[in-house]
Structure 1
Amino acid sequence: MTETKTCNKCGETKATSDGLVARGADMHARIVDGRTVLHLAADRDNGVKVIKLLLRQGVELNARDDEELTPLFYAPRVRS
């Protein structure tokens, strides 16, 4: 699975994320603009369960994308 597919699929739901983790998907993958799985999960407002799963997998909470934005930047946009 490519980095883009891993990031996009993992950000969808907790069940999808669990399945990808079980199959050894790279939770540290980045897509073209530098966003990580955590950036996408925060942007999609998938709830605390997906984000907790990703943090347990050791993803970097303060990872910066190509615009120097962290996943925390994306979270409030969804909830506004």
Structure 2
Amino acid sequence: EIVLLKNEADRMLNEHASMESKLKANFAELNRTAEVVRKLNKGKADLNELLSLGRQHGDLTGIGYTGREDIPETSTGASNVKHT
């Protein structure tokens, strides 16, 4: 029974480490997004920063363009239009 408890504790520790890692990555992404939004509010964000966020988060354009192959364009965008 001690071995079973140790295995369960190890599993829980690994799961916790995985969740902690995911949370840190999410916070880093949120901080980056917040920085671009601050720049946008000051009128200092450039197109590359916006496109980078769009590729991470999906459609920021309002027309269905995501810039990502793995996120389909929304119904508001023309799916047959090639964006460059």
TM over 0.5: no
| Structure with the higher fraction of residues in helix conformation | 2
The structure that has the greater radius of gyration is 2
Higher RCO structure, 1 or 2 (CA under 8 Å, sep 6+): 1
Q: TM-score, normalised by structure 1?
A: 0.30
